[in-house]
Amino acid sequence: MAEQEAKKLEAESPVTPTPPPAPEPVEFKQDAVQEKPIVAPPEQKPEESKALAVIDKVPESAPKKLSGGSHDRDVALAEVEKEKRNSFIKAWEDSEKTKAENKAQKKLSAVAAWENSKKASLEAQLRKIEEKLEKQKAEYAEKMKNKVALVHKQAEEKRAMVEAQRGEEILKAEEMAAKYRATGQTPKKFLGCF
């Protein structure tokens, strides 16, 4: 595109014998905030206005190629301001994100602390219930042992009674046998199981 514009300038140069003056880039002023070129009103000859029309396109295609003018400084200052504004926005955004992360971490740690305290409370209740159950189990076990001991004692007493009764019956049988032998009589009930 720059080559086409250069060709246009060369093509129009033979029509106008004088080259365009050097301060022409100064004629284009740019607003620092809006960055739009402002063209000064043409007060020159019609031939020079043609040159201005051709040069009009040159600043649009390469505004940074002009050197040493207030236009370059304005453009540079506008870019610096824009970069500064963007860096402030980026810093603000990072700050807000960091605040949000910190706030979320604080809330998450509070939730974790709450959860841990509730778990500890429930575990303490569970241990208390387990201790109570263990105590009850021990009491019931002791009661059962006592009952077992009592049953064992009663069983021993009954065994002793059975042994004593057996001994008495054996003694009675021996006495009766001795009596039958002495008298020569036979018992009435002989082998009672038959």
Look up the pTM and report it: 0.39
Contacts of the segment 20-29: beta carbons below 8 A, 24+ positions apart: 20/48, 20/51, 20/55, 24/52, 24/55, 25/59, 25/66, 25/69, 25/71, 26/69, 26/70, 26/71, 27/52, 28/59, 28/71, 29/70, 29/71
pLDDT value, residue 62: 45
- The per-residue pLDDT for 184 is 82
Per-residue pLDDT tens digits of the chain, which is 194 residues long: 455 555 554 544 444 445 545 444 444 444 444 445 555 555 554 454 444 444 444 444 444 444 557 888 899 999 999 999 999 999 999 999 999 999 999 999 999 999 999 999 999 999 999 999 999 999 999 999 999 999 999 999 999 999 999 999 999 989 888 888 888 888 776 555 54
The C-alpha R_g of the chain, in whole angstroms, comes to: 61
